[in-house]
C-alpha cells in the first residue's frame, strides 16, 4: 500500500461526508436564523463558547488522546477505549452538574446575559450524550477507520434539520414565536439521536459489551493516556477559556463603541454564526485531513524513533541496511513524517488561496443569497483573507500534536488569542468592528508563521 493511501482515502471519505454535513448544517443555520432572528441567534451563539469549553475538557481531548494511544498501541485498543470512557464520564458528570445547577450564576456573571441560563441547562445534558460520539471517533481514527464517525456525523446533521423543521412548525402552528431556546432544544435532541444511533451500530456490529478481565485496563494504560491528555487538555482549556472571553467581550466592546445592546448581539450572531460558517465550509477538507494526520504522523514518528534507537545500539556492528533503519545517506531521502506534513501543508495553503479569491469576489452575493443579510456579505468578503492561514493551521496543529509537540500548538494559539483580545479590548471600542477584522487577520497570520517554524524545527529534530 502506498505510504499516503490510507490518509488520502480516509480524508476523501471523511471530506465527502463532512461536506454533506456542512450543506445540511447550512440549511439548518439559514432556517433557524431566519426563524428566530439575528438577536436570538446571537444569544444562542453567546452560550456556545461555554459548550466548547466543557466539550474540549470532557470529549475532544479524550478523543484526540484515544486516537493517538490506539494508533501507537493497536493491541491495547480496547483497554484504552475503557480508559477514555471512564475519564470522560467522570469529567462530564462534574461539568454537567456545575452547568445545570449554577446556570443562573454563570449566565448573569460570566456571560452577562441572563437569558442564556436555560441554554446552559441544555448544554449540561448534551455534554453527557457527547461522550459516546467522542469515544467512537477516537477509536475509529486511531484505527484509521472513518466509516462509523462519518455516518454518525451525517445522522446528527440530518436529525438536526428534521427536528428544526418539526419544532419550528409546531410552534408556529400553536401561535408561539421560536426563540433562542428552540436552538438549545434542537442541539440536545440531535445529540441524543446520534448517541442512540452510535450505540445501536456498535451492538449490531457484534462488539462485545462485557469486557473480559484480561482486557481491562491497567494502571499503565491510564498513566500513558493521562500523560498525553494533561498537556493537550490544559492547553486547549486555556485557549478555549480565552476564546470564550473574547466571544463575551466582543458584544460588550461594540456597546462601548456606541452600538445598542440588541444590535451588538445581532452583529455577533451574524459574524460568528453566519459569516464564519461560510468561510469555514472549505475547512471541511482540512478538518478531515487533520483527524487522520495526527495518528499517521504519530505512528510514522514512532517508527522512525525506534529505528534511530536501534541504529545507536548497532553502531558497533556491521553497517545496517538503509531500509532497516528507515534512513539513508541518499540526498533523495525524505523522512516519511516530513513528506506527509509537506504534502498536507502545501495542499491546504493552495486551497486557501483558491477560496480567498472566491469569497473576495462573490462574498456579498453569498451573504445575500444564503442569509438575506448585507452585513454577512461584508464580513465574508473582508474576512476572506484569513482563509489560507486558518485552513493550513488546522493541519499544521495536528502535525505538531502527532509529533508530541502540544506545547508548540499552545504557544501558536495563545499568541493569536492575545492579539485578538488586545484588539477587542482596546481597538474595537474606538474603531468598531473593522478593528476586529484587522486583528483577526493579524492573529491568524502570526500563528500560521509560528506553526511553520515549529514544524520545521520538530522534523529536523527527528
pLDDT for 87-122, tens place per residue?
888 998 999 999 999 999 999 888 888 889 999 999
Confidence tier at 348 by pLDDT (50, 70, 90): confident
How far is the C-alpha of 132 from the C-alpha of 416, rounded, in Å? 32
Helix axes 61-72, 117-142, angle to 10 degrees: 10
Q: Which residues of 101-131 are buried (b: 16+ CB within 10 A; e: fewer)?
A: eebeebbeebbebebbbbbbbbbbbbbbbbb
Q: Alpha-carbon Rg of the chain, whole angstroms?
A: 23
User: Three cell numbers at 193?
Assistant: 439521536
Binned at pLDDT 50, 70 and 90, residue 340 comes out as confident
User: What grid cell was written down for 338?
Assistant: 516530513
- Nearest CA-CA partner of 398 in 80, 71, 74, 133: 71
Extract the C-alpha cell encoding 385. 483573507
What is the chain's mean pLDDT, rounded?
81
pLDDT, mean of residues 289-300:
63
Tally of helices (H runs) and strands (E runs) in the chain: 18, 0
Which residues have a Cβ under 8 Å from the Cβ of 60 and sit 6 or more positions away? Answer: 134, 236
Residue-wise pLDDT for 149-167, tens only, equals 778 888 888 888 888 888 8
Higher pLDDT, 36 or 288: 36
- Convert 210-240 to b/e letters by CB count within 10 Å (16 or more is b): eeeeeeebeeebbebbeebbeebbebbeebb
CB 279 within 8 A of CB 384: yes
Comparing 440 with 224, the larger pLDDT belongs to 440
**pLDDT surpasses 60 at 124:** yes
Q: Is 36 helix (H, G, I), strand (E, B) or coil?
A: helix
CA proximity to 397, closest of 333, 338, 450, 318? 450
**What is the mean pLDDT of the segment spanning 2-27?**
67
Reduce the DSSP state of residue 206 to 3 states and report it.
coil
What are the tens digits of pLDDT across the range 200-225?
877 776 555 556 666 677 888 888 88
Distance, in Å, from the CA atom of 363 to the CA atom of 97, rounded to the nearest integer, reads 43
Kindly write down the DSSP assignment for every residue of 318-375, as one continuous string. SPPPHHHHT--S-TT---HHHHHHHHHHHHHHHHHHHHHHHHHHHHHHHHHHHHS-HH
Contact 159, 189 (CB under 8 A): yes
Angle, helices 5-55 vs 147-173, to 10°: value is: 40
Please give the residue that has the higher pLDDT: either 30 or 267: 267
Least confident of 50-59, 113-122, 427-436: 50-59
Task: Specify the pLDDT at position 324.
Answer: 46
Closest CA relative to residue 363, chosen from 377, 375, 383, 382? 377
Check pLDDT > 70 for residue 378.
yes
- What is the pTM assigned to this prediction? 0.64
Helix/strand/coil for 424: helix
Amino acid at each position: 500500500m502506498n505510504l499516503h493511501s490510507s490518509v488520502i482515502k480516509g480524508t476523501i471519505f471523511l471530506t465527502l461526508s463532512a461536506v454533506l454535513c456542512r450543506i445540511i448544517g447550512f440549511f439548518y443555520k439559514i432556517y433557524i436564523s431566519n426563524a428566530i432572528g439575528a438577536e436570538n441567534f446571537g444569544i444562542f451563539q453567546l452560550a456556545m463558547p461555554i459548550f466548547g469549553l466543557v466539550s474540549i475538557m470532557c470529549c475532544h481531548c479524550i478523543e484526540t488522546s484515544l486516537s493517538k494511544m490506539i494508533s501507537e498501541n493497536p493491541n491495547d485498543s480496547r483497554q484504552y477505549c475503557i480508559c477514555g470512557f471512564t475519564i470522560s464520564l467522570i469529567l462530564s458528570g462534574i461539568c454537567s452538574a456545575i452547568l445545570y445547577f449554577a446556570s443562573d450564576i454563570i449566565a448573569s456573571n460570566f456571560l452577562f446575559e441572563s437569558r442564556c441560563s436555560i441554554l446552559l441547562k441544555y448544554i449540561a445534558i448534551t455534554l453527557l450524550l457527547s461522550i459516546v460520539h467522542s469515544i467512537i471517533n477516537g477509536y475509529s481514527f486511531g484505527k484509521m477507520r472513518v466509516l462509523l464517525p462519518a455516518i454518525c456525523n451525517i445522522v446528527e446533521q440530518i436529525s438536526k434539520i428534521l427536528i428544526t423543521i418539526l419544532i419550528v412548525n409546531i410552534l408556529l402552528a400553536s401561535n408561539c414565536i421560536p426563540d433562542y431556546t428552540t436552538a438549545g432544544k434542537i442541539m440536545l435532541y440531535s445529540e441524543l439521536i446520534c448517541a442512540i444511533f452510535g450505540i445501536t451500530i456498535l451492538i449490531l456490529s457484534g462488539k462485545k459489551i462485557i469486557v473480559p478481565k484480561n482486557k481491562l485496563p491497567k494502571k499503565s494504560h491510564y498513566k500513558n493516556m493521562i500523560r498525553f491528555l494533561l498537556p493537550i487538555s490544559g492547553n486547549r482549556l486555556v485557549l478555549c477559556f480565552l476564546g470564550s472571553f473574547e466571544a463575551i467581550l466582543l458584544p460588550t466592546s461594540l456597546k462601548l463603541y456606541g452600538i445598542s445592546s440588541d444590535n451588538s448581539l445581532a452583529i455577533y450572531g451574524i459574524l460568528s454564526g453566519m459569516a464564519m460558517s461560510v468561510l469555514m465550509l472549505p475547512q471541511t477538507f482540512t478538518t478531515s485531513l487533520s483527524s487522520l494526520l495526527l495518528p499517521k504522523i504519530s505512528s510514522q514518528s514512532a517508527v522512525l524513533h525506534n529505528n534511530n534507537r536501534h541504529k545507536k545500539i548497532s553502531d558497533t556492528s556491521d553497517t545496517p541496511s538503509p531500509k532497516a533503519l528507515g534512513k539513508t545517506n541518499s540526498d533523495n531521502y525524505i523522512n516519511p513524517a516530513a513528506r506527509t506534513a509537506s504534502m498536507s501543508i502545501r495542499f491546504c495553503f493552495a486551497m486557501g488561496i483558491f477560496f480567498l479569491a472566491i469569497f473576495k469576489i462573490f462574498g456579498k452575493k453569498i451573504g445575500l443569497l444564503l442569509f438575506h443579510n448585507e452585513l454577512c456579505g461584508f464580513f465574508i468578503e473582508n474576512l476572506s483573507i484569513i482563509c489560507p492561514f486558518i485552513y493550513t493551521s488546522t493541519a499544521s496543529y495536528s502535525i505538531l500534536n502527532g509529533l508530541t509537540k502540544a506545547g508548540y500548538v499552545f504557544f501558536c494559539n495563545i499568541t493569536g488569542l492575545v492579539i485578538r483580545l488586545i484588539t477587542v479590548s482596546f481597538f474595537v471600542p474606538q474603531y468598531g468592528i473593522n478593528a476586529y477584522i484587522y486583528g483577526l487577520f493579524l492573529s491568524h497570520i502570526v500563528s500560521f508563521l509560528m506553526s511553520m517554524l515549529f514544524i520545521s524545527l520538530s522534523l529536523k529534530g527527528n
